[in-house]
Amino acid sequence: MSAELGLLSLLLALGCALLQSYAAFSKDKNGAALAVSAARAHAVAVLASFMFLLAAFAATDFSVTSVVANSHSTKPMFYKIAAGWGNHEGSMLLWALLLGIYGAAFAQFQGGQTRDGRFAVGVLGLLSAGVLAFIALASNPFWRQIPAAVDGRGLNPLLQDVGLIIHPPLLYLGYVGFAVPFAMAVGALAKGTIDANWAKRARPWMLIAWGFLTWGIALGSWWAYRELGWGGYWFWDPVENASLLPWLVGAALVHSTLVLERRGGFPGWTVLLAIVTFSLSLIGTFIVRSGLLTSVHAFAVDPERGLAILAYLVVTIGGAMTLFAMRARDFESDIRFTPASREAMVLVNNLVMSSAAAAVFLGTLYPLLIDAIGAAPLSVGAPFFAATAVPLFIIGMAAMGLAPMAMWRKGTLMQTVGQSRFALGIALAGFALTMALKPGAIMGPLAVGASLWVGAGMITHSVRRRKTLWTLDQWAMVLGHIGLAIAALGMASTALFSTEVSQAVVPGQVVQLGKIQARFDGITGVTGPNFTAERAQISILDKTGKVTRVLYPERRFYPASGMPTTEAALASTVFGDLHVTISALTEKGGEKTIIKGWAVRLFNRPLIGWIWVGAAMTGFGSLVGGFGPGWRRRRQNLVARVPSKSAS
Amino acid sequence: MRVLMIVLTALILSGASAPERPLDDPAQESRALDLFKELRCPTCIAQSIHDSNADIAVDLRAIVREQITEGRSNAQIREFLVARYGDVILLRPPVNTATLPLWLGPWLIFLFGGIVVFVALRKHNTKAD
């Protein structure tokens, strides 16, 4: 039953979304109120639809095709339910759900107040209607099959991990969140104007989306680090890059909007960034989901879906861009600032973020382009991005460390650098020390110096303002930037000082990695809820040979999917991780495969945990900045209400 | 017995690998590890042979290690592999006419953007008027 109810709710949501935009675009004076109500109903209907889908997954209803394809009777209940959004159809519905919720929230708080806000509600309704129609027609998760299957085909066991259960919702909260500034930009282009007031209304939405996107990306990388078993955390694969693109342009957007809010500067550029950020979010979701990024040919496997996605992208992006081209000239601003002012620093940020995005975009799509024109295939991997995006980031961080010392509108470079003497000293010391520790490296020491420069700059800024009352915006900025410095330091340290060893072992043998000694004690077989595993016991020894820590890396096998996976074991401290995996050494003897022994792989990753701690801080800072204004307003309202009550 | 069967199936499916021995000379082994990271595993989507356990990645690691012990330079090893698999084996695409837009693109955009920013800074400078 729940599948039919789910589809019905989906169609209801589609109807509400269409009504939402009709009411918002109509000239009727009651239209605004109707649009807000429709937006609310639309969100509730998608939520119902999503809940019905989860119910079908919880009940393991093997007459529903998407349940058969993605679930299995032996799965633990938690993963059964989570499988509901761990697949193409379900994740599209999740996307639509979040768009519905964002749309309703925007309509509720800002939609009815202004003409351009009302137009934006209409745009959000159209965006939803398009996605809902796509789900109903080409990507229906409620499809039934008769007869029902006996059992499901499982889910990729790599995906059976808490990190990956919450990764897609967080990532989508980011992607979809950029729909709101996009719609507001379109609304302002069509009906209003782009000014400081627009920026004040739009910026919280951008910060919320960017904060969630940061968390989503960080969580995905943390998952890769723990599950893929290679000790790496970022592989520059097309899917990862697709999520990085809106993050980069989004970072440019939140900064240029700040200038618009404070000084009324860069209106046209900001609106363009808002459009591009959401366009990249759309491309990120849909192109990844269509399989285009893995290969041009995968796109043609399901041409109906591919064409529908393409049409949606062309209409959305093309429409907004056309509107922008028509109106961009109207938004010129003539503000004055010196080349060392806060505004100038934001320009450097925007330049760096856009160029880095271009590098990632080009690096991701170039192999496809080469493939499409039939030239000799080539690969673009980590070394390319390390040679393009990384130096750009270092330039960006140079400006980032200077920005909090810079004043709005005025100031000279000498003044600003003069205020950063402490940070400059720390950065140079860090650079020199790293050069001494790792002779011959240049980018790594520069990255260390840049991270310290940003971190120390933020500390200087905070110490200087310690006696003033901090606004939430200021907390957001300091948290976000210190987080980024911490993450960058973790990345630089991991890139510079990681060591690894892999060695065949017999029980009792000690593997040496620098000062670390790890003893392989042996293998035992264990049985999990829906897998079997060989679990190794690895004892970490101190200098005297005493056991300080025992680790249990596993090699799991999930019979439902026939896939073995590596479960790394981690010994984490503030200073870094010891990452341990095992693999079986085998030999083919005719038909049979014989286990000849085991190999242990040790990775020493200094400060790697700082990457995720820093990224979590950055995301949190962004969310503080995003939710802050609304929260403060509520509190002020409450405070304002109390005395009036006591008076009456 | 059943557990053993499952284990054996798992091993067959995982692409059973031959024992992998790191090189005895730590300097040579560290050269090998660096090379692994810039060579693509031909059957994987975006993984280097350092980050993959596919049969072909294991074989390629053995080949690279062997060539290093034979005293070949990194360039010679790369050349050997490109002759066998084509440029697609290199995660760092070679600089040639086909890849010029790729390598120059980001920097051209940075340069162009830099000029725009420079002009904007001059235009908006308070001291200019």
Helices (H), ranges, A292-442:
296-301, 303-327, 342-372, 382-402, 413-419, 421-437
What pLDDT shows up at residue A584? Answer: 80
Question: Can you read off the two tokens belonging to residue A109?
Answer: 């708080």
What pLDDT shows up at residue B5? Answer: 44
Query: Are A389 and A360 a contacting pair, CB within 8 Å?
Result: yes
Q: Confidence class of residue A155 from pLDDT cuts 50, 70 and 90?
A: low
Q: Which of B52, B103, B110 sits opposite A351 (nearest CB)?
A: B110
Q: Confidence class of residue A152 from pLDDT cuts 50, 70 and 90?
A: confident
Query: Are A477 and A625 a contacting pair, CB within 8 Å?
Result: yes
Distance from CA of B24 to the nearest CA of A (A): 11
- Mean pLDDT of the region A439-461: 94
**Residue A216 located in a structural domain:** no
Query: Is the predicted pLDDT of residue A329 greater than 50, yes or no?
Result: yes
Distance from CA of B116 to the nearest CA of A (A): 9
Q: Which of A338, A350, A376 sits opposite B127 (nearest CB)?
A: A338
Q: What are the counts of helices (DSSP H) followed by strands (DSSP E) for chain B?
A: 5, 0
Q: Which of A260, A310, A307, A255 is nearest to A277 (CA)?
A: A255
The percentage of residues in chain A with a pLDDT greater than 90, rounded to a whole number, is: 57
Query: Is the predicted pLDDT of residue A85 greater than 60, yes or no?
Result: yes
pLDDT in tens, A529-541: 878 888 999 999 9
CA–CA separation, A166 vs A163, rounded Å? 6
Place of tokens 């330049």: A351
Lowest-pLDDT choice from A65-74, A565-574, B15-24, B26-35: B15-24
Query: A159 to each of A27, A155, A228, A403, how far by Cα in Å?
Result: 49, 7, 11, 41
Query: Is the predicted pLDDT of residue A450 greater than 90, yes or no?
Result: yes
What pLDDT shows up at residue A421? Answer: 92
What pLDDT shows up at residue B4? Answer: 45
Question: How many C-beta atoms lie closer than 10 Å to residue A220's C-beta?
Answer: 21
- Mean pLDDT of the region A542-555: 90
Question: Strand A510-513 to strand A532-541: parallel, antiparallel, or no bridges (unpaired)?
Answer: unpaired
- Mean pLDDT of the region A133-148: 89
* B13 contact partners, CB below 8 Å, separation of at least 6: A562, A563, A564
Query: Is the predicted pLDDT of residue B20 greater than 60, yes or no?
Result: yes
Distance from CA of A526 to the nearest CA of B (A): 10
Q: What are the counts of helices (DSSP H) followed by strands (DSSP E) for chain A?
A: 20, 10
Question: How many C-beta atoms lie closer than 10 Å to residue A266's C-beta?
Answer: 27
Query: Is the predicted pLDDT of residue A251 greater than 90, yes or no?
Result: yes
**Residue A638 located in a structural domain:** no
pLDDT in tens, A262-277: 999 899 999 999 999 9
Substitution target in B41, B92, B95, B116 with the highest count of A β-carbons within 10 Å is B92
Q: Sketch the domain layout of chain B as residue ranges.
A: 2-94, 96-129
What pLDDT shows up at residue B1? Answer: 41
Within 8 A of A238 by CB-CB distance, chain B residues are 45-46
Tell me the β-bridge partners of A589: A592
Q: Which of B21, B38, B127 sits opposite A383 (nearest CB)?
A: B38
Query: Is the predicted pLDDT of residue A60 greater than 50, yes or no?
Result: yes
- Amino acid identity, position A122: G
- Mean pLDDT of the region A367-395: 90
Q: Confidence class of residue B127 from pLDDT cuts 50, 70 and 90?
A: low
Question: Can you read off the two tokens belonging to residue A552?
Answer: 């249990």
- Mean pLDDT of the region B43-69: 86
Angle between helices A267-290 and A342-372 (to 10 degrees): 30
Q: Confidence class of residue A641 from pLDDT cuts 50, 70 and 90?
A: low
The percentage of residues in chain A with a pLDDT greater than 70, rounded to a whole number, is: 93
Query: Is the predicted pLDDT of residue A107 greater than 80, yes or no?
Result: yes
Within 8 A of B102 by CB-CB distance, chain A residues are 362-363, 366, 380, 384
What pLDDT shows up at residue B11? Answer: 41
Lowest-pLDDT choice from A127-141, A466-480, B43-57: B43-57
Highest mean pLDDT among A38-42, A376-380, A561-565, A579-583: A38-42
The more confident residue out of A226 and A125 is A125
Question: Can you read off the two tokens belonging to residue B85?
Answer: 């698999």
Q: Confidence class of residue A563 from pLDDT cuts 50, 70 and 90?
A: low
Q: Which of A606, A580, A382, A578 is nearest to A497 (CA)?
A: A606
**Residue A252 located in a structural domain:** no
User: Average pLDDT over chain A, rounded to whole?
Assistant: 89
Query: Is the predicted pLDDT of residue A280 greater than 90, yes or no?
Result: yes
Q: Confidence class of residue A520 from pLDDT cuts 50, 70 and 90?
A: very high
CA–CA separation, A603 vs A570, rounded Å? 10
Q: Confidence class of residue A645 from pLDDT cuts 50, 70 and 90?
A: very low
- Mean pLDDT of the region A464-485: 92
What pLDDT shows up at residue A156? Answer: 66
Query: A107 to each of A28, A114, A612, A630, how far by Cα in Å?
Result: 17, 11, 34, 15
Within 8 A of A586 by CB-CB distance, chain B residues are 11, 16-18
Query: What SS3 class is residue A370?
Result: helix
CATH number at residue A55: 1.20.120
Query: Are B32 and B64 a contacting pair, CB within 8 Å?
Result: yes
What pLDDT shows up at residue B10? Answer: 42
Highest mean pLDDT among A160-164, A307-311, A616-620: A616-620
CA–CA separation, A501 vs A603, rounded Å? 7
Highest mean pLDDT among A187-191, A232-236, A373-377: A187-191
Substitution target in B95, B107, B110 with the highest count of A β-carbons within 10 Å is B110
* A394 contact partners, CB below 8 Å, separation of at least 6: A443, A446, A447, A450
What pLDDT shows up at residue A588? Answer: 65
Start-to-end CA span in chain A (Å): 54
Query: Is the predicted pLDDT of residue A61 greater than 70, yes or no?
Result: yes
Query: Is the predicted pLDDT of residue B89 greater than 60, yes or no?
Result: yes
- b/e per residue, A103-131, with b = 16+ CB within 10 A? bbbbbebbbbebebbbbbbbbbbbbbbbb
Distance from CA of B16 to the nearest CA of A (A): 6
Distance from CA of B80 to the nearest CA of A (A): 16
Out of A158, A186, A202, a domain closes at A158
Out of A158, A189, A208, a domain closes at A158
**Residue A48 located in a structural domain:** yes
pLDDT in tens, A482-500: 999 999 999 999 999 998 8
What pLDDT shows up at residue A238? Answer: 85
Q: Confidence class of residue A590 from pLDDT cuts 50, 70 and 90?
A: low
* A561 contact partners, CB below 8 Å, separation of at least 6: A153, A154, A155, A156, A157
- Mean pLDDT of the region B74-96: 92
Question: Which residue range forms the structural domain that includes residue A107?
Answer: 1-158
Q: Which of A337, A351, A586 sits opposite B113 (nearest CB)?
A: A351
* A346 contact partners, CB below 8 Å, separation of at least 6: A255, A256, A258, A259, A403
Question: How many C-beta atoms lie closer than 10 Å to residue B68's C-beta?
Answer: 20
CA–CA separation, A335 vs A130, rounded Å? 40
CA–CA separation, A236 vs A386, rounded Å? 10
* A521 contact partners, CB below 8 Å, separation of at least 6: A507, A508, A536, A537, A538, A539
Start-to-end CA span in chain B (Å): 88
Interface residue B51 vs chain A (CB under 8 A): yes
Interface residue B26 vs chain A (CB under 8 A): no
CA–CA separation, A525 vs A555, rounded Å? 10
Within 8 A of A335 by CB-CB distance, chain B residues are 124
The percentage of residues in chain B with a pLDDT greater than 70, rounded to a whole number, is: 81
Highest mean pLDDT among A123-127, A580-584, B45-49: A123-127
Which of these CATH numbers, 1.10.730.10, 1.10.8.640, 1.10.8.50, 3.90.1580.10, describes B2-94?
1.10.8.640
Out of A137, A158, A179, a domain closes at A158
Peptide bond into A445 cis (omega under 30): no
- Mean pLDDT of the region A13-21: 97
**Residue A284 located in a structural domain:** no
Query: Is the predicted pLDDT of residue A561 greater than 60, yes or no?
Result: yes
How far is C-alpha A142 from the geometric centre of its chain's CA atoms? 28
**Residue A220 located in a structural domain:** no
- Mean pLDDT of the region A31-42: 94
- For chain A, what is the domain count? 2
Substitution target in A260, A292, A355 with the highest count of B β-carbons within 10 Å is A355
Query: Is the predicted pLDDT of residue A279 greater than 70, yes or no?
Result: yes
What pLDDT shows up at residue A565? Answer: 79
Distance from CA of A157 to the nearest CA of B (A): 13
pLDDT in tens, A407-431: 898 888 888 888 899 999 999 999 9
Sign of CA dihedral A179, A181, A184, A188: negative
pLDDT in tens, A161-214: 777 788 889 999 999 999 999 999 999 999 888 999 999 999 999 999 999 999
- CB–CB of B102 and A363 under 8 A? yes
Within 8 A of B8 by CB-CB distance, chain A residues are 592-593
- CB–CB of B11 and A584 under 8 A? yes
Lowest-pLDDT choice from A227-241, A438-452, B30-44, B80-94: A227-241
Nearest CA in chain B to A408: B126
